Amino acid sequence: MSESYQRKPDWLRVRLSGSEAYRDISSLVQEHQLHTVCQSAMCPNIHECWGTHKTATFMILGNTCTRACRFCAVDTGVPPPPDLDEPARVAGAVAKMGIRHAVITMVTRDDLADGGSAMVAATVNAIREASAECTVEVLVSDMNLNPEAIHGIADSHPEINSHNLETVRSLTATVRSRADYDRSLTYLRNVKAYDPSAITKSSLMLGLGETRDELLTAMDDLRHVGTNIINLGQYLQPTPRHTPVVRYWHPDDFDELREQAMARGFDYCQSGPLVRSSYHAGSQYSQFLHDLRAIQQ
């Protein structure tokens, strides 16, 4: 790997936080024996989200994934059986933190017949019972397109139902493990077919070797299946054994791509080097509702 691939540009510098809010969330996560994608995926925004915005993205169904995507720092292996008490523990943490918009993601559980959908739905319902005013966003696997699994999640009525396309078609086979570009699009299409009122969301990583034209095609594909919200962020190599960064896209590129996304009819696009799937998810959802009301008036 060349030195240029290892050195991050100035615009990717992250400010660390040792604030009381950061320590409080860290303690709550440990107290409730929870996993967060913030920690497991080595998210660069953990100090901002925990220390400034007092938000966290909870990862359920353990912290061992049945797939081995070459961009992801989450461990791969044989996961333990689902912990049936986990939804209540997540809901308890959400209530204690006073979260107004909870994000629930998951490791892929190809070992389970329902892909883990029952646990996702149970967690959404538990949060609603514990925090009636809290809105919920889920970020889930493709569920191997199991209709019952997809319907089970949709029936819990999360405010946002997310599944990430992650990258462009030409890179999917080399970057994502046992995933398929069209299967991901079909998941999003099937959610809309089952519940046309559902708000769907997806994200793309930049810097894996994709071209601008390929990104625009992926945007078109996501809009074709009715995706409402798209996030665009810079891929960062979590460890030397993961796929290397091919290019660091400039913030100006992200601004231009956001304009391209909005021109294609997305209701909302967050685009920037440090943007991740759940980056500023609460304020993003609030802005989405604000913009939607403005359109309807």
Mean pLDDT by groups of 10 residues along the chain of 297 residues:
55 55 57 51 48 66 89 85 94 85 92 97 96 92 97 97 97 92 98 96 96 98 97 89 92 97 95 76 61 57
What is the set of domains in the chain, with CATH numbers? 15-292 (3.20.20.70)
Decide the pairing of beta strands 57-60 and 35-36.
antiparallel
Decide the pairing of beta strands 101-106 and 135-139.
parallel
What does the pLDDT read at residue 42?
A: 47
Helix (H) or strand (E) holding 75: strand 75-76
What does the pLDDT read at residue 293?
A: 58
Query: Which are the contacts of 202, defined by CB distance < 8 A and separation ≥ 6?
Result: 162, 163, 164, 165, 184, 188, 222, 227, 229, 230, 231
Is residue 253 within 8 A of residue 262, CB to CB? The reply is no
What does the pLDDT read at residue 16?
A: 46
Give the pair of three-digit tokens for residue 62: 């353990």
| pTM listed for this prediction | 0.83
